[in-house]
Amino acid sequence: MQDQNPWFTVDQVDPDTYIISEYRHWEETHCYLLNGRDRTLLIDTGLGICDISPVVAALARGPVTAVATHIHWDHIGGHRYYPDFYAHEAELSWLQGGFPQPIELIRGYVTDRCQLPEGYDVNTYEFFQGTPTRVLRGGETLELGDRAVQVLHTPGHAPGHMCFWEAERGYLFTGDLIYRGLLTAWFPSTDPQAYLKSLEQVAQLPVQRLFPGHHDLDLPPELCLEMRDKLRQLDRAGELRHGSGTHTYGDWAIQL
């Protein structure tokens, strides 16, 4: 019997670009599949609760390279299906047992506000570990054949956080730097000042469309500027620091 509420939802952006979403978990993580002439880039691989690889295989037109916006459990869960993957140098230790949160806490995140598949045993959930085939530092261009994607190092939410910029189409894949909802920059591995610098960087781009890591997909490009300006205000007020609390701006907020 076919699942009437499948784990993954697929949306097509254009003939070469797809969004693979996980709406049955409260984080509503989005992964992005970019087909080029020579290969396919998969930006983030989701929670890892269900196997993303059949969905990807049905859409991909070439060999798949996976790249994570950052090495958090909800963005690398499907990396085990992709031995060809890239990661930022600042988070390599997290792929070798050094992630600063215990597996018991991460398994709690998995079950929190989630419609888990019937029979799923969360005790089998593991944080992905592995060695990337390429280490990124920011500034690289990922060539897919007839598509070029630039790597932007955008720390703040995580030390090795990356956004991916496709200038020809005006697409900016923002990971957890920009989305509607509660942005998190309060735990020790975050850096509020770096967060602002990253927003300053992407605010200079002629963005036509934002593709966030979570929640609402219909984001105006001007949200880059709005978030930059609000964090500038916090900085001037001496509030852009850990411990200053949660600052709310309509449909988004940042927890420091």
Three-state DSSP class for 84? coil
pTM over 0.85: yes
Question: What pLDDT band is residue 1 in, cutting at 50, 70 and 90?
Answer: very low
| Cβ atoms < 10 Å from Cβ of 131 | 11
* pLDDT at position 4: 55
C-alpha to C-alpha distance for 141 and 17, rounded to whole angstroms:
18
**Whole-number pLDDT of residue 152:** 98
Work out the average pLDDT over 189-210. Answer: 98
Using only C-alpha atoms, the chain has a radius of gyration, in whole angstroms, of 17
Q: How far apart are CA 110 and CA 5, in angstroms?
A: 18
In the block, tokens 């969905």 appear at 55
Statement: residue 104 has pLDDT above 60? yes
Q: What is the mean pLDDT of residues 17-38?
A: 97
Instruction: Map residue 104 onto helix, strand or coil.
Output: helix
Q: Could you tell me the fold of the domain covering 9-178+205-219?
A: Metallo-beta-lactamase; Chain A (3.60.15)
- Write the pLDDT tens digit of every residue in 220-242: 999 999 999 999 999 999 999 99
Distance CA 192, CA 180 (A): 18
Write the DSSP symbol of residue 25: B
Q: For 189-212, what is the mean pLDDT?
A: 98
E strand segments, the chain: 9-14, 17-22, 29-35, 40-43, 64-67, 85-88, 134-136, 141-143, 148-153, 162-166, 171-175, 181-184, 209-212, 246-249, 252-255
pLDDT band at 2 (very low <50, low <70, confident <90, very high): very low
Contact (Cβ atoms closer than 8 angstroms) between residue 125 and residue 107: yes
Mean of all residue pLDDT scores within the chain = 96
| DSSP conformational letter for 3 | -
Q: Per-domain residue ranges for the chain?
A: 9-178+205-219
User: Could you read off the pLDDT of 163-195 as tens digits, one per residue?
Assistant: 999 999 999 999 999 999 999 999 999 999 999
User: Percentage of residues in the chain with pLDDT exceeding 70?
Assistant: 98
87 bridge partner residues: 135
Q: Could you give the CA distance from residue 218 to residue 148 in angstroms, rounded to a whole number?
A: 24
Decide if 154 contacts 203 (C-beta within 8 A): no
Mean pLDDT over residues 137-155, rounded? 97
